[in-house]
Amino acid sequence: MPLSAITENSLALYGEYVNPQWVKLLDVLQMNVHYERCSGVELITSEGTRILDFLSGYCVHNTGHNHPAILSALKGELDRSGPAMLQSHVPELAGELASELCRLAGGDLKKVFFCSSGSEGVEAAIKFSRAHTKRYGLLYSNGAFHGLTCGALSLMDNTFWSEGFGPLLQNTEAVPFDDIDKLAARLSTEQFAAFIVEPIQAEGGIRVPSPQYLSEAQRLCRHYGTLLVLDEVQTGMYRTGTFLAAHQFDVQADIVILAKALSGGIIPCGAVLMKQEIYDSVYSSVKRAIVHTSTFSENGLAMRAGLAALEVLQDEKLGDRAAELGEYLRARLTEQLSRFDMVERVIGTGLLCGIQFKAPRKFGLRVPFEAFQRIHPGMFGQVLVMRLFRDHNILTQICGNNFMVLKVAPPLIVSHEQLERFVSAIDDVMERAHSSAAFWSEPLGMARRVLNL
Ligand SMILES: Cc1ncc(COP(=O)(O)O)c(C=O)c1O
């Protein structure tokens, strides 16, 4: 059977057996293309179109797609035919990766629990914080995104994600992000096991807190006996310029959660870094040695991929690159886009950037903008994403909990030339948004057809 027939059949099977609604959504957005090869910053379709990835799978592909050194390390691991998931031995690669993660994270983070996703890491952090403090309350930030398992969902206030899934964890409470007084007031009740927070909110709209917020939060958490848990699932692994975003805020967390880019975007892997005394509260005796485990955690392929990804990130100095290119990109975007009525500002740290939009002031633009808003609050942003993709071959996405921010997060190996391509593409799309009736009328017609409005 030719490859194209296999592909077509597989796509049909996906639609039939996995998630037909996802297929429909991609069709509506005109983003349902078949990728044949992915390499570095480029996604190459079966028709030979080269698409620039400025989303990185939500910060998974920091080292670029299919980095040859990571592929080769994985091939070597497979060829070794070593032990994997025996659940009855000491997986030595997990020790190597854990020691490297603790060294890079610094502070008092001395133990690591491995898992296979960010959500699973959040679940572990919840359990460990409760076990250590013997309290049940959990504080989180408005606008946070921590994952879609029940515990993680209990730490998110956007009901889109939780509606219909029944009662979640008790005793969880949101405080406004970057508001130290509100945080202090809740911490002072001494009910909370942990304050779980992203150092820079990613899906919340690339929100960078004021410089003192996290160190002050740390001081208050210590004072009131609450653990500070940093969710660095998107911000970690040099995405913002330093190994952890925390390193830019002079804050030392009690627990740090990593996932996504940890294993080079190839094998699922997550890690929860913690202080010795938190580990001791959970794994307090030989009898409790396996009290919190997971079948796939510490598996050889994930650990090998993690070690290889760390080597690439350091050898290629991708942290420095993220810091330097991020600054360059934000300066170029600000320079190019500030003339547009609907651009509020360009935000971010390192290569976790965002373009924040606002409702237009001009009456002529306000009418179609509000028509978009009535259909769906994310429609404006999604049309920008669609245009960037369709007209400029660039993949992006808006933030999941803040539809007025377009996320700009290419792999950290991106070149100046590729950044310039993005700058001129978004400039063109914004120019159309501000001057072309078709920018608004075409999607409105499409939405009416699709949604039978
Ligand atoms: C900050 C943050 N934490 C946790 C998660 C959950 O990670 P996962 O999808 O691997 O479960 C995500 C996912 O996007 C995230 O952005």
For ligand 1, the distance from its centroid to the CA atom of residue 145, given in whole angstroms, is: 7
Residue with the smallest CA separation from ligand 1 atom 2 is 146
The mean pLDDT value for 65-89 works out to 95
Q: Which atom number of ligand 1 is nearest to the Cα of residue 270?
A: 10
> Which residue bears the tokens 């807190």?
209
Rounded average pLDDT over 27-56: 96
Best residue for ligand 1 mutational test, from 145, 206, 272, 297 (most atoms within 8 Å of Cβ) = 145
Q: Which of 289, 249, 301, 395 is nearest to 91 (CA)?
A: 301
* pLDDT band with cut points at 50, 70 and 90 for residue 450: confident
Query: Which residue lies with its CA nearest to atom 13 of ligand 1?
Result: 147
Pocket of ligand 1 contains residue 117 by CB under 6 Å:
yes
For every residue of 312-374, DSSP letters joined together read HHHHTTHHHHHHHHHHHHHHHHHHHHTTSTTEEEEEEETTEEEEEE---SSHHHHHHHHHHHH
Cα separation, 144 vs 147, in Å, equals: 9
**What residue type is assigned to position 403 of the chain?**
F
pLDDT reading at 2 higher than 90: no
Is 233's C-beta closer than 6 angstroms to any atom of ligand 1?
yes
Q: Indicate whether 1 pLDDT > 60.
A: no
> Residue 9: pLDDT band by 50, 70, 90 thresholds?
confident
Q: Name residue 175's beta-bridge partners.
A: 141
The tokens for 165 are 């899934």
From the number of C-beta atoms within 10 Å of its C-beta (0-12, 13-18, 19+), residue 193 rates as buried
Q: What percent of the chain has pLDDT over 70?
A: 98
